[in-house]
Chains A and B, each alone.
Chain A
């Protein structure tokens, strides 16, 4: 088994942090964009780019509520995203055992 077997969508520091942080929430919960940014410490532009990639892969969903300055975006891990993190973690364990 090699590092290539790890899900390339998650095997990037920023996206690994995003997915692991969202997975710490109970199933069915969402986190606001600003809180996620505070917790991970990414710039808004960088976070947006990584969120978009994860959303395109159906690993997370985003929901925008409100209009104007009061608008707020929340992101949540989908079942697919949670399962992908589980597989990634198992693959990583297998790789580390082999090293």
Chain B
């Protein structure tokens, strides 16, 4: 039966002995590295895809709002491109995550579900506050420009930073903090510029992350 083992099976295999300590150290290191890589959904390709997507998505919205005087908010065409990027990003992450986490069960699965629920609630709260700002008479530039982009990216960045700090994942922590800094700094660019500033800034952060991931993978392979 595939995927199960019977403790009563009578097959017998001799232990492969004679492992030299150096060989054992190499095997241990290689197995650890391959296991970590196999269980991690992140990859340079996925980060590169996100870098291109964020530039195209935010760039499309910027193109749709840059000529607006006064500012009214993204046009349906700009939003279609942005949402297409968001869907592609979610789809690619879910696919890579499912592949990497296939066959894993236990506490971390429940922890991830709780993290996902917390992030969803935080993002919904961003849009509830957006509706409150609009009903309180805040300008379209603040509500549908500076606020919605900045608040969304701040939530995603701080969520990622907290999550990676708990896991002692320092590379991911650096990327998440860079996202927070880009989002906060872009708020000064105004309702039109905030889209372009976030698009370019996040694209650069993700390109740097993708290059660092590729470099680390190559370094690990050359050590093997």
Residues of A within 8 A of B (CB): 3, 6, 11-14, 16-17, 20-21, 23-36, 39-40, 44-52, 55, 62, 64, 69, 71-74, 76, 89, 92-93, 95-96, 99
Return A70 CB to nearest CB of chain B, in Å: 9
Set of chain B residues within 8 Å of A62, measured between Cβ atoms: 5
Give chain B interface residues in 1-20, CB to chain A under 8 Å. Answer: 1-7, 9, 11-13, 15-17, 19-20
Distance, CA A23 to CA B40, complexed state (A):
14
**Would B16 and A33 count as touching, CB distance under 8 A?**
no
Return A49 CB to nearest CB of chain B, in Å: 5
**Would A71 and B103 count as touching, CB distance under 8 A?**
no
Return B41 CB to nearest CB of chain A, in Å: 14
Distance, CA A24 to CA B103, complexed state (A):
14
Set of chain A residues within 8 Å of B17, measured between Cβ atoms: 12
**Could you say which of B12, B103, B104, B108 contacts A49, with CB atoms under 8 Å apart?**
B12
Return B206 CB to nearest CB of chain A, in Å: 26
Distance, CA A91 to CA B22, complexed state (A):
12
Distance, CA A29 to CA B103, complexed state (A):
10
> Given A31-B103, A92-B24, A64–B15 Cβ distance below 8 Å?
no
Does B38 have its Cβ within 8 Å of any Cβ on chain A? yes
Does B36 have its Cβ within 8 Å of any Cβ on chain A? yes
Return B2 CB to nearest CB of chain A, in Å: 6
Of B26-34, B49-57, B119-127, the one contacting chain A is B26-34
> Given A6-B21, A32-B103, A35-B103, A20–B28 Cβ distance below 8 Å?
yes
**Would A48 and B11 count as touching, CB distance under 8 A?**
yes
Distance, CA A5 to CA B36, complexed state (A):
28
**Would B27 and A72 count as touching, CB distance under 8 A?**
no
Does B162 have its Cβ within 8 Å of any Cβ on chain A? no
Set of chain A residues within 8 Å of B12, measured between Cβ atoms: 49
**Would B28 and A29 count as touching, CB distance under 8 A?**
no
**Would B32 and A26 count as touching, CB distance under 8 A?**
no
Return A14 CB to nearest CB of chain B, in Å: 7
In the complex, besides A28-B107, A49-B13, 5 extra interface pairs with C-beta distance below 8 angstroms are A21-B31, A26-B106, A29-B104, A35-B102, A73-B3
Return B122 CB to nearest CB of chain A, in Å: 23
> Given A3-B21, A14-B16, A21–B5 Cβ distance below 8 Å?
no
Return B170 CB to nearest CB of chain A, in Å: 17
**Would B3 and A16 count as touching, CB distance under 8 A?**
no
Distance, CA A49 to CA B107, complexed state (A):
27
Return A81 CB to nearest CB of chain B, in Å: 14
CB-CB nearest 4 A-B residue pairs: A35-B103, A32-B103, A29-B106, A28-B107
Does B80 have its Cβ within 8 Å of any Cβ on chain A? no
**Would B34 and A39 count as touching, CB distance under 8 A?**
yes
Set of chain A residues within 8 Å of B11, measured between Cβ atoms: 45, 48-49
